[in-house]
A and B are shown apart, each in its own frame.
Chain A
Amino acid sequence: GDSVTQMEGPVTLSEEAFLTINCTYTATGYPSLFWYVQYPGEGLQLLLKATKADDKGSNKGFEATYRKETTSFHLEKGSVQVSDSAVYFCALSDRGSQGNLIFGKGTKLSVKP
């Protein structure tokens, strides 16, 4: 079945460092891909999405490019801030899934001042 694999955390970075969180997927169809972020004590929020190959999603300085050839959707940010500390989830939604999302296990990011 469809699945999402994320790099395991936790990831600890200093402020202004470059961030990459790896995400790869397995899907039989042509999925849409998402990154969600969960701040402490809150629910998940959509961070960005891409719906077809080579699309780049971006928001709040974060970017991810839908790479069909490598089945990847890696999350990047050029300069992280303390306020980016959160858990990040990669997810996919396949056309046949009727809106259901398949989530990765999440990667916890801690940014130190």
Chain B
Amino acid sequence: DAGVIQSPRHEVTEMGQEVTLRCKPISGHDYLFWYRQTMMRGLELLIYFNNNVPIDDSGMPEDRFSAKMPNASFSTLKIQPSEPRDSAVYFCASSSGTGRNNQPQHFGDGTRLSIL
């Protein structure tokens, strides 16, 4: 079975540019999560969706960050304009809502983002 698929795996771009990260969750999963991982702050939850609807975006650092989930099989995280401090590994994860709190999250391999 295919896991969570993220693209691109690596992104290097100059500050001020728009960056779009993509995620395809596991088929049938109704929760989707976006995380950011850095050495300084560890793993941070940015936003999560249930049935394509954003439930909690309190972790989104600034208005420069936005996330969408137009359908059950695709989500994007966009940074515009990007800044060097946005450099991090961004993970997408998905889970099934059945039995809610005892279902694990399945992570993609992440996008390593470097803003020069």
Chain A residues proximal to chain B, CB less than 8 Å: 31-32, 34, 41-46, 49, 51, 89, 93-95, 97-101, 103, 105-106
Among the listed B42, B50, B108, which residue makes an inter-chain contact with A98, where contact means beta carbons less than 8 Å apart? Answer: B50
Question: What residues of A have a CB within 8 angstroms of the CB of B48 in the complex?
Answer: 99-100
Majority-rule SS of B interface residues: strand
In whole angstroms, what is the CA distance A32 to B113 when docked?
Answer: 32
Q: How many Å lie between the Cα of A67 and that of B25 in the bound state?
A: 33
> B116 in the interface, Cβ–Cβ < 8 Å?
no
Q: How far is the CA of A10 from the CA of B106 in the complex (A)?
A: 25
Question: Known: A31-B101, A100-B45, A106-B42. Is A43-B109 also a contact (CB below 8 A)?
Answer: yes
Residue of A nearest to B112 (CB): A41
B residues whose Cβ falls under 8 Å from a Cβ of A: 4, 31, 33, 42-43, 45, 48, 50, 55-56, 91, 93, 95, 97, 100-110
Task: Provide the residues of chain A in CB contact with B106, threshold 8 Å.
Answer: 46
Q: Are A43 and B108 in contact (CB under 8 A)?
A: yes
Q: Provide the bound-state CA to CA distance between A43 and B109, in Å.
A: 4
In the complex, are the beta carbons of B31 and A99 less than 8 A apart? yes
Q: Which residues of chain B come closer than 8 Å to A41, judged between CB atoms?
A: 109
Please state if B43 and A95 are interface contacts (CB–CB under 8 Å): no
Which single residue of chain B is at the shortest CB-CB distance from A49?
A: B104
Q: Which residues of A contact B4 (CB under 8 A)?
A: 43
Please report the C-alpha to C-alpha distance between residue A62 and residue B93 in the assembled complex, in whole angstroms.
Answer: 23
- Nearest-neighbor residue (CB-CB) of B104 within chain A: A46
Docked pose: A41 CA to B4 CA in angstroms: 15
- Tell me which residues across on chain A come within 8 A of B43, comparing CB atoms: 44, 89, 103, 105-106
What 3 pairs across the A-B complex have the smallest Cβ distances?
Answer: A43-B107, A46-B104, A32-B102
For the complex, give the distance between the alpha carbons of A98 and B49 in Å: 10
Nearest to A34 among chain B residues (CB) is B104
Q: How far is the CB of A81 from chain B (nearest CB, A)?
A: 23
Whether A98 pairs with B107 at a CB distance below 8 angstroms is no
Check B101–A95 contact: CB distance below 8 A. Answer: yes
Nearest-neighbor residue (CB-CB) of A44 within chain B: B107
